Amino acid sequence: MKSDCVQATTCQERKKDPIEMFHSGQLVKVCAPMVRYSKLSFRTLVRKYDCDLCYTPMIVAADFVRSSKARDSEFTTNQGDCPLIVQFAANDARLLSDAARIVCPYANGIDINCGCPQRWALAEGYGACLINKPELVRDMVKQVRNQVENPRFSVSIKIRIHDDLTRTVDLCRKAEATGVSWITVHGRTIEERHQPVHYEAIKIIKESMSIPIVANGDIRSLKEAENVWHITGTDGVMVARGLLANPAMFAGYEETPLKCIWDWVDIALELGTPYMCFHQHLMYMMEKITSRQEKRIFNALSSTSAVLDYLTDHYGIDQTF
């Protein structure tokens, strides 16, 4: 785990508490947990473009607790990286609470992944299978609450919905009674991937709860985010792929502006972002502004210097580092 001498009080005094943000009546714009992608450098970029709250990629709590190597590779932060939620994959209350205690000084809260539908996660007892284990979710939330002394440290969950929505409402009510701070709802079932998002289901869940609810699923622009916010009556919206394609989305840009690309280059090089990650993000960002031929050339580049030369030659992005 790497940080630049961050203290919990520093983070939580400089920025609004996420729970306060959700009760503000304003749309809270959230960057989703994305494996490999929602790391420090990308979080730094989207914060420059009106993102209010960021999540880390999903981290397996057991590995994080047991391995210092895992902690150093999976969780990096700095003083400007807040408000921040660390998302864990977990199926053991003690290990999750141990992980929460480790990150508590460096983050505003933790989130339990109860929505990942990938086979490996389900096989390990992580992710979306937890929506069918409300007692285990309750135990994990309680254990974190008991072990983390900071009362402002949030404990949230991110879920998918059941075919029978009454089961989802029941899960959410049990989580609320246990002390969950807020719930993010991805409006699809475990089996659904590219089917339309069930925003009406998210609305029903919101109407059944007192704690904040965040809507998630297929939001690609600020206009869509505001529309989903109004349709569902939720307290915020969480975006994944829409931000990958356009990190300036929350600031109202329809496609990635050149300044945002330049900002990414600056941030990535300053923070020492590995080349594969640096290049992959640029491929996502430039999807809409490059021709098929340009994509073929750009995607084949294999070094930072080659990328910088390409950007300078084609888009006038030129900076001395």
pLDDT in tens, 153-210: 999 999 999 999 999 999 999 999 999 999 999 999 999 988 999 999 999 999 999 9
| Residue 11's pLDDT band (cuts 50, 70, 90) | low
Examine the pLDDT at 12 and tell me if it is beyond 60: no
Give me the amino acid identity at 291. Answer: S
| Residue 316's pLDDT band (cuts 50, 70, 90) | confident
Give the containing element (helix H, strand E) for 129. Answer: none
Average pLDDT over residues 203-220: 97
How crowded is residue 118: how many other Cβ atoms within 10 Å of its Cβ?
A: 13
Distance CA 135, CA 174 (A): 8
116 catalytic residue (yes or no): yes
Residues of the chain above pLDDT 70, percent: 94
Confidence at residue 130, expressed as pLDDT on a 0 to 100 scale? 97
Confidence at residue 287, expressed as pLDDT on a 0 to 100 scale? 92
3-state secondary structure of 35: coil
Express each pLDDT in 267-310 by its tens digit: 999 999 999 999 999 999 999 889 999 999 999 999 999 999 99
Provide Rg for the chain, Cα atoms: 19
Distance CA 315, CA 321 (A): 17
**Is 284 in contact with 227 (CB distance < 8 Å)?**
no
Express each pLDDT in 61-116 by its tens digit: 999 999 999 899 999 999 999 999 999 999 999 999 999 999 999 999 999 999 99
Confidence at residue 318, expressed as pLDDT on a 0 to 100 scale? 53
Which of 149, 39, 53, 60 has its CA nearest to residue 105?
A: 149
- Ligand-binding site membership of 241 (annotated): yes
- Ligand-binding site membership of 87 (annotated): yes
Residue with tokens 């945002």: 260
- Ligand-binding site membership of 35 (annotated): yes
Can you give the pTM of this predicted structure? 0.94
- Ligand-binding site membership of 186 (annotated): yes
Q: Which of 51, 82, 116, 129 is catalytic?
A: 116
Helix boundaries (H) for 208-274: 222-232, 241-245, 258-270
- Ligand-binding site membership of 79 (annotated): no
Residues 6+ apart with CB under 8 A from 63: 70, 74
Q: For residue 282, what are its two tokens?
A: 């640029």
**Is 157 in contact with 181 (CB distance < 8 Å)?**
no
Express each pLDDT in 18-74 by its tens digit: 999 999 999 999 999 999 999 999 999 999 999 999 999 999 999 999 999 989 999
Distance CA 231, CA 252 (A): 19
Distance CA 87, CA 116 (A): 11
**Is 215 in contact with 232 (CB distance < 8 Å)?**
yes
How crowded is residue 210: how many other Cβ atoms within 10 Å of its Cβ?
A: 7
Residues 6+ apart with CB under 8 A from 276: none
Average pLDDT over residues 208-230: 97
- Ligand-binding site membership of 7 (annotated): no
Q: For residue 210, what are its two tokens?
A: 């007192």
**Is 79 in contact with 6 (CB distance < 8 Å)?**
yes
